[in-house]
Each structure stands twice: as structure tokens, then as C-alpha cells.
Amino acid sequence: MPYGYNGKILHVDLTNRTLTVEEPPEAFYRKYLGGSAMGMHYILRDMPRGADPLGPENVLTLFAGVSTGAAISGQSRLNANAKSPISGGIGDSQSGGFFPAELKFAGFDGIVVKGRSPKPVYLSILNGEPELRDAAHLIGKLSGEVDDILHKEIDPKAEILQHGIGAENGVLYSSLVSMSNRHNGRTGMGLVMASKNLKAVVVRGTKKPAIFDPKALTALNRIGPKALPENGDMDGLAKYGTAVVVMFNNTIGTLPTRNYNEAQFESCEPISGEKMAETVLKERDTCYACIVRCKRVVEIKDGPYKVDPRYGGAEYETLGTFGSYCGVSDLAAVSLANQICNEYAVDTIACGATIAFAMECYEKGIITKEQTGGVELKFGNAEAMLEVLRQIVTASTPLGRILGQGSTRAAEAWGNGADECLITVKGAEAPAHMPQAKRSLALIYAVNPFGADHQSSEHDPYYEEGIGDFNLNRLKQIGLGSPQPAYSLTDEKVRFAYESEVFYSMMDSAELCQFVYGPTWTLYDGEDTAKMIRAVTGWDITLDELMQVGRRRLNLFRVFNAREGLGRKDDKLPKKFFKQLQGTGPTAGFALTHEEVDHAIDHYYHLAGWTTDGVPTRDTLKQHDVEWAAEYLPG
């Protein structure tokens, strides 16, 4: 058994109700580390080409990583992967909290789920002993209610990962949620798990995987408390959570406003992290063994929008999508929207952005008041935003059912120019970071295998002229040392996008928090990451070897997508991103051009070693030691 791992992977066949334990060799663990790189090994191997994302043939993988459960910040992460019902390509999603570490303590490094149960069940894993149990009594319950029932049924200290009522009602962008507020969101993994009649996974254990060099790990861990207050980015994250960037992004003109038509929100201050801390913040929460404590917990006892602290608090993306995207400046209303999404387990980015899309369609006359059921669905109308959200999660009205399928499918249903209002890539709504100004992010939004994503690469300001030595010296560890002009999309910026994407891809295999480990501003840099994994495993692993794991993951993703019919035709941005931003501020009038994006995609494919259609070649797969995946290439 390798250090840092249990050496066991649980295979669950829901159709046949079988539970099988696999014990892979140590070389397998070193090759993939965990997370989605490891999950892709099973998805490509065990899922047939053309499988229905909501059929029993889809394979759902849940994997922790090499250091999950170790006594250091930023390691309690879980990756969920399956074929996405949103894109028809790969679905990928990460979450934090305490479930990932508890999965390790319960005796397993990951879970591979196949088939479909004839009736609702949940999987319990207690100190290495897996069991399928009846879940009929959990159907129709809010996430907090499910937690309460299973804590009483199993163990008050058990950790629970579940799909919610949103998935039971067919909401396309349903999440998996743990602690009633930590999501595997974005790509519909909740709906996939619901389609399998698997309501939840409950884990509890007391055995921690052995660490090769505990003293070295402790020494690295002690750096954190000293480095945190000295790092401005990290200190702000600790004090105000991800909401710290609301005001900053607004100042530089990158806060999406009124469905991405503008880049500054005149009423952003009331929904900022600073205002949250002054008013509704109850406490700062954390993930297992992490000192950063970036998670918000809010409570509102008075007024029309009461909020329960058990459902956490809004992250930056949620403040963006339900706030500035919708033109809503009421922090209590946005906090309640966050709670409803957590109660029903739906993705806040997709849900808020879909409502903002519908608001623009309504204001432009693309849809009528008759189609909204009488709701005055205008930007700035907080009550209308909440009403439509309730209709979505309960699937109780025609409008709610249409918007529950996401904005791309709603645009197809409505026609009448609705596609002009979309901000989607591969069916996924864009998060609250604007590619018109962060132009290498525009490239990543286009080529990312599972749609527009803000946590798949480093953002442009960290590789633009004027960046400080602290960040630049870290980037030099991965061969990046030539900052580029602001707002540019040069070939060097494309290389920055690709290499930093490889780094982030590695973190989503090692299962490391991107707020703690990273190539620039975080608590630990690339060399620290290698040092930490050496301490955990005893392997003589280097940063270069870790980057290779990141490349393996990206290549396996692209092989899967190519097998399922996705290619360059799907690596495209919405029309809205090529139109000039309205309003005022430093980015007013900004727009992408098709020429620069097309050139960037060409250069990106070249750097990755892929064809002009974005498909890995056999030589590239061999170079990255995943030649076995070539048999799944089309043609």
C-alpha cells in the first residue's frame, strides 16, 4: 500500500447490487495521483461510446487525492466525473469540506459507480465496510433534512454527499452537495447520481492513511500561519472569503452586470464581501485541517429574507450571478437565493446566470409576461429573481421547467433571437470573470473540456506587465517569465494559459485547493506542492512530474470528448462576447474578435500536441504515458 493512500478503490454496481474492492498497484497511484485523472481511467474503460448521460451505462467516479486527509491546509478535495447531461462531453467538478477527508478515513481512495438501482438507495461506508441501504425515506427532503436523518441513522460525525430535490425534479444543473453547502456543481453531477437512484454516500472512519515523513509535512504546515497574513491576496480571502473580489473586479471593469452586457455594477458595494462581514456574517467556516477559513456562514433573522446559517453563505460567483448579473443589490435576497440552491442542491452559477438570461429576454420582448406567468422579470427585481428560482427548483411551472434545463435549451425553446442573450460554452453558463478583459481566459473558456470555467487556469492579471516579483518568481517555476501587455492575447499569453491550465489540471488530480496551492498568489507554490507530496508519499516526485499528471488529465478529457463527438466546433464562445461592453468604466467598449480567438485556439492546440480539431494524437498520448487511451479515439 502506498503512503498517503488506503490502496483501495470501491466499485459499486447498482444494477446488480454488488460492491467490489480493487487494490491497484502503487505505480497506478503515482501515474494519476487521484481526482479526475484517476477517474478518467475508469470512465474511458468502462463507459460505452454514446452512453446516455442519464442512463445506467454512464459511469460516475468520486475520487479524493494523494494528500487528502493529511494534516495540512488545502487538501480536503473531492472530484466527481461522469458524462455530463449538459454538454454530452465530460463532466468535471470539485468540492471541499470534510467529506473528502472522511472518505479516506473510511478506508477508500475513490468510488466508481455503475448501473442504476431499481429503487432509491444510499451507500454507507463505515470503517472500510460498504453497504447499500434503502433511501425511500430520503426522497423529497431538503439537504439539511437528509443530513439530520442520516446523522441519526448512521453516526452524528458521518459526512454525507447527496443529490437533492432539484435533481429529483430534473433540474439539469443539479449538484452534489455535502454539509448542505459544499457543491460538486457546474456539470450536472447531481442529476447523474439521481438518475442512478443513488441518493447519497455516507462515510465515517477513524483510520488515517500513513504519512512517509510526518516531520517534513509538519514543517511545511507551520509555514502557513506565518505566510497567510503576509500575503495580501490570501489575507483578504481569509477575512472576506471569495466575496473579497466583488469590489476589486468592479473597479477594474470585470464584474459581469445585467447578463454580461456591462462590466461595472453601480450598486456593487451592498453585495460585497466587506458589507457581508459588517452585516450578516455569523462566522468563518473551513475545510478539514485548513487554516484559511474562507467559507462564509451568514445568518439573517429579521426582514423579508430570513437565512439559516446551516446553509453557509454566498461565494463571489453567487453574489455575481444572483446579484450583479440580475442587477440585484439586496444582499439578503442573494443570501436567500444561495440558501435555496443549497437546500435543493443546484448550481448557483448556472441557476443565477440562467435567470439573468431570462431577464434580458424579457426586457427585450423575446418572451412575454404571459410566458413568465405574470412575473415582472426585470433586472433589479429581487422578488422576481427569488420567485423564478423557487419555480426552477420545484419544477412547478412551465417557466421553471424550461429554465431548469439551462439557458441554452431555453433559448432553443424560445427562439426569437434568444441565442443573442446567451453566455454559454458547451451549454455551461459563464462564471463571473470576464473574458473580454481577461483575454487568455476567453481561450480557456472556449477550449475547456467541460465548458466555461474560472478555475481551470490562472487569470491574466498575474501575467501582465507590472506584476510583482513574488508572483513572477513563482511562475518561473513552470517556465513562464515574460509578462505581457494588459488585455492582450499574444502567443506568449496563450502559452501562459496552457501551462497554468496544466498546473490547475494537476491540482484537480492531486485534489488540492486552488486557494492554497497554485502557480502564483497562493499560500504554497509549485515547488512547495512537490515537497508536500514527497513528504506524504516518499516518492522522489518533482514539479515536472506533477505537471505531466496535469497533461495526462487534459489529454484523457479530450479523448473522451472526441469519442463522444465533440471537437473544435464545440470550442466556441457565445456571440455576446464579441459585442462591445456597454456602460462606463475601464472596459466599456471592449469586445473579443473572432480572429484573435481563432488564432489563440490554433496555437493552443499546437502547444498541446493536438490536431487542428483539438484531438490528441497517438504520439502525444504516448509522450504522456497514456497511449492506452488511443484505442478510444474516433475513426
Count how many Cα atoms sit within 13 Å of the Cα of residue 518 in the half-sphere of its side chain: 21
Residue 1 pLDDT: 76
Spatial separation of the C-alpha atoms in residues 220 and 211, rounded to whole Å: 14
Residue 482 pLDDT: 98
User: What's the CA angle centered on 93, arms 7 and 449, to 5 degrees?
Assistant: 110
* Block residue for cell numbers 464562445: 573
Residue 454 near residue 441 (C-beta atoms within 8 A): yes
If we measure between CA atoms, which residue out of 262, 229, 230, 270 comes closest to residue 246?
Answer: 270
DSSP-derived pairing of the beta strands 198-204 and 159-162: antiparallel
Residue 88 pLDDT: 98
Task: Please name each of the domains of the chain with its CATH number.
Answer: 9-204 (3.60.9.10), 222-421 (1.10.569.10), 439-632 (1.10.599.10)
- Sign of the four-CA dihedral 481, 496, 520, 265: positive
Give the H or E element holding residue 94.
strand 90-95
pTM: 0.98
- Sign of the four-CA dihedral 557, 562, 566, 568: positive
The predicted-structure confidence for 226-285, as pLDDT tens digits, reads as follows 899 999 999 999 999 999 999 999 999 999 999 999 999 999 999 999 999 999 999 999
Beta pairing partners, 524: 517
Q: Which residue positions in the chain have pLDDT lower than 70? A: none
Grid coordinates of 341: 440552491
The phi, psi pair for 172, rounded to 5°, reads -60, -40
If we measure between CA atoms, which residue out of 79, 107, 97 comes closest to residue 203?
Answer: 107
The predicted-structure confidence for 497-518, as pLDDT tens digits, reads as follows 999 999 999 999 999 999 999 9
The phi, psi pair for 524, rounded to 5°, reads -120, 145
Residue 635 pLDDT: 77
User: What's the CA angle centered on 339, arms 59 and 105, to 5 degrees?
Assistant: 50
111: DSSP letter = E
